[in-house]
Amino acid sequence: MIPETRTYPGARRPDRNYRHHADGVEIAVYEWGAESDPVLFLVHGGSDFAGTFDVFAPLLAAGGWRVVAWDHRGHGDSAHAALYGWDADIRDALSVMSSVTRSAAPVVAHSKGGALMMQLADSCPYRISAMVNIDGMPSKRRMPDVPDHDQSRLLADSIGSWLDFRHVAHDSFRKPGTLEELAQRRGKMNPRLSIEWLEYLVTVGAQQGADGWRWKLDPTMRFGGFGPWRPEWASLRMAALTVPFLGLLGTIDEPMGWGARARDVLPWIPASGRLEVLKDIGHFIHIEEPELVSTMILEFLS
Q: How far apart are CA 180 and CA 167, in angstroms?
A: 32
Closest residue by Cα to residue 239 from 204, 216, 266: 266
Whether 39 and 105 have beta carbons less than 8 Å apart is answered as: yes
Q: Residue 1 pLDDT more than 80?
A: no
Q: Which among 89, 62, 63 is positioned nearest to 78, based on CA atoms?
A: 89
SS3 167: helix
Q: Are 134 and 300 in contact (CB under 8 A)?
A: no
pLDDT of 15: 98
Task: Give per-residue pLDDT as tens, 117-153.
Answer: 999 999 999 999 999 999 999 876 555 555 555 666 6
Q: Which residues pair with 16 in a beta bridge?
A: 31
pLDDT, greater one: 298 or 219: 298
CA distance linking residue 266 with residue 242, whole number of Å = 16
117, 133 contact by CB (below 8 A): yes
The number of CA neighbours under 13 Å toward the Cβ of 203 is 16
What per-residue confidence (pLDDT) applies to 83? 81
CATH of 16-147+222-301, one of 3.40.50.1820, 3.90.110.10, 3.20.20.70, 3.40.50.150: 3.40.50.1820
What pTM value is reported for the model?
A: 0.92
CA distance linking residue 176 with residue 215, whole number of Å: 8
Q: What is the residue-averaged pLDDT of the chain?
A: 90
Q: For 120-254, where are the E strands, in sequence order?
A: 128-134, 206-209, 212-215, 245-250
**28 DSSP assignment:** E
Spans of all domains in the chain: 16-147+222-301
By residue count, the chain amounts to: 302
User: CA triplet 171, 174, 178: central angle to 5 degrees?
Assistant: 150
Share of the chain above pLDDT 90, in %: 75
The secondary structure of residue 177, as a DSSP letter, is B
pLDDT tens digits, 95-125: 999 999 999 999 999 999 999 999 999 999 9
Instruction: Read off the pLDDT of each residue in 286-293 and give the average, rounded to a whole number.
Output: 98
